[in-house]
Structure 1
């Protein structure tokens, strides 16, 4: 299989005895990769990445069918049906996310219209995402990611692998690369050249994009990147709100949805002005589709968390499975005079002894700050979204309280 074949028949789906929690986690990981690949395909105008989005959408369709089967088997009475309503919200929301990601990919595949110079307007800090096939003679073939030590030596990360029809999401240190694997790499473009050559045996062809011919295109591209990041965060928090039965996380999904709506409104205002001055307004048509699809993703995140927002208790089949996981997604608010007040965050990691990773900060006067690549000092009123162990999360909450 090399990408998505529009003429292919839908895959037959049979019931598999898998836990609902495992299916939900896989759907969450698939949603995040779908969003990442779709936006990267647009920003880099890459047909190969766009085609992989459609292949990944097919995987999501299978996951949804299996999740529905498992949920139907788990319901034994009306009370359990009520408790499974939030989980059904995930299934419906995941469908909307995958459809929206596919619509974004089709902007590229159907040549709907994008400024050719978008890639030239990308900020230097934005990493490139590429797709390559592992050559049988590659020095990476048959080795684990830990053995290759790719990220430490080059800064390039493997964010996903497709092996035939199967996907390996969030590959870990023990994941072994095999010949003919389709590997998705993210990292600085200058280092991707050598990694791509070693992986595939061919040179990475990076064409020089034309200079921007639309005024302030850089600002539009910045908006697209921010919309992508906020939508991805909203989906992550939405799944977390159900998996951890957290009304705090669900409330932050609603805050993010409002932020994305406002961002889309500003983006469309820019788009109308740019179209009035453009020599070929049709070349901007794809950006209209992009704005609509972005809002669809943030709305889908809200759908996923709706059951939690409405106070419906999560079914024990999810609750018990989550208790087996040691990693939590938490929200804490920094109080004045607390131990976190004035603490520095360096590349997402608080300068504390705790094993917590801050992924986002909502600051009252600045909105959402995605902190994985920036440094900042925490201040009173900051709302932090962080990942870490169950023990560290409890201690982290205590540090936020004066």
Structure 2
């Protein structure tokens, strides 16, 4: 266990890292289960260790910052958000341990996850790699392969959203997101070895019961990821509607967890080994914990705890920015569908919700058209969010925020 020695740290920087760690950990953990990839699982455990270390620093910093009761009231909200981010990371680590230590999940479930257009890759830069010593700008990995580096770990320290001037070094662990063909190229260039092939699906026909249970697992994953994004968005926009949707997702997650637990108890040995069925129980429990932690963030909004401006700045500065984009009349995005916007903005940008005349639409369908005056809650790389704002004709000065109700 890492020894704790307090060092003065910028609270915003720590909040940014905790938020980015929590979202990356969830993404890596579910990807590790889908692909049966122990190397991705190992990175989640590294993120957990780092988050547990950082929470001591943010606790001490917030304790030292409060000099009056009014300040303490604001800082307690930050304290709860930081604690929730750590809890999300820890729950993701529990999912990772299913792959690393508990024998995984039954094959029928491991291969039930949709084959996403984008995947995650984790690689260690070898000494003789052409990546070692090179600047990211010069490598142009995103242009040549479609892979965007989202994190670099060097000697236990994480760097999220690396920029063009950053250089890679021998021994760096890189995490990238992109198409399968692209990550194969990046992995080979980094390590000198071919990317290990994912395990082939097991032979045989899945029963309807297994198919339904697999859908429950996928729903748990989707609800956990959406709850985290909406919770951070609720805090960013100070929106009661978004916060209440997080609570509704948590209730639905409870029902899915109970359904999956019942199915596992009634399942026979043909579904998988006892260890693999236990892995499903751990997956259900960890997914529910992620939703519970998202609720803790949402409750900061519902209790009308005023968060200081540093929190909004932290969300805007993070690797996965949470932003509000207002669609301008006559803009390029007036009448565009959600799928059009996500494609236009580039890899990694997701429309979490849309606020219009009828209130919020959560997790909108790809063919849902956007209209002038509507506010989009989006998550993605800061450059992609900024690109959406430009296309929507949305300026920082003229941007309005949805009401709390």
TM-score normalised by L of structure 1: 0.79
Q: Which runs of 5+ in 1 are unaligned?
A: 1-9
TM-superposed deviation, 1:196? 1.1
- 1:153 is displaced (CA, Å) by 1.8
Gaps of 5+ in 2: 380-384
1:378 and 2:381 correspond:
no
Q: 1:200 to 1:253 in 2, by over 3 A?
A: farther
The 1:278/1:254 distance shift into structure 2, 3 A limit, reads: farther
Question: In structure 2, do the counterparts of structure 1 residues 380 and 269 end up closer, same or farther at CA, with 3 Å as the change threshold?
Answer: farther
Q: Return closer, same or farther for 1:382/1:121 CA change in 2, 3 Å cut-off.
A: farther
2:94 paired with 1:103: yes
Shift in Å, 1:280:
3.9
- 8 Å contact 1:328–1:393 — kept in the other structure? no
The answer on whether the counterparts of 1:268 and 1:288 sit within 8 Å (CA) in structure 2 is no
Contact 1:134–1:180 under 8 Å retained in 2: yes
Show the counterpart of 1:251: 241
RMSD: 3.9
Q: Which residue of 2 aligns with 1:368?
A: 362
- Asked whether the equivalents of residues 122 and 218 of structure 1 are also in contact (C-alpha less than 8 Å), the reply is no
Match of 1:67 in 2: 58
Partner of 1:25: 16
Deviations 1:200-225 (A, max 9, x none): 11111204422365335566555545
- Per-residue Cα deviation, 1:214-243 (whole angstroms, up to 9, x for no partner): 33556655554554344334334434544x
Helix, strand or coil at the partner of 1:377: coil
* Aligned match of 1:329: 323
Cα 1:382–1:212 shift into 2, 3 Å: farther
Q: Aligned-pair distance for 1:99? A: 2.0
Instruction: Give the alignment partner of residue 55 of structure 1, picking from 23, 46, 54.
Output: 46
Q: Does 1:392 align with 2:382?
A: no
Once residues 116 and 207 of structure 1 are traced to their aligned partners in structure 2, the CA distance between those partners, rounded to angstroms, is: 12
Match of 2:294 in 1: 301
Question: In the alignment, is the contact (CA less than 8 A) between 2:28 and 2:41 conserved in 1?
Answer: yes
CA drift at 1:342: 3.1
Relative to 1, partners in 2 of residues 1:349 and 1:184: Cα closer, same or farther, differing over 3 Å? closer
Deviation at 1:87, TM superposition (A): 0.8
| Bigger mean CA offset, 166-175 vs 309-318 | 309-318
Q: Partners of 2:193 and 2:69 in 1: how far apart?
A: 59
In 2, are the aligned partners of 1:107 and 1:113 still within 8 Å (CA)?
yes
SS in 1 for 2:270: coil
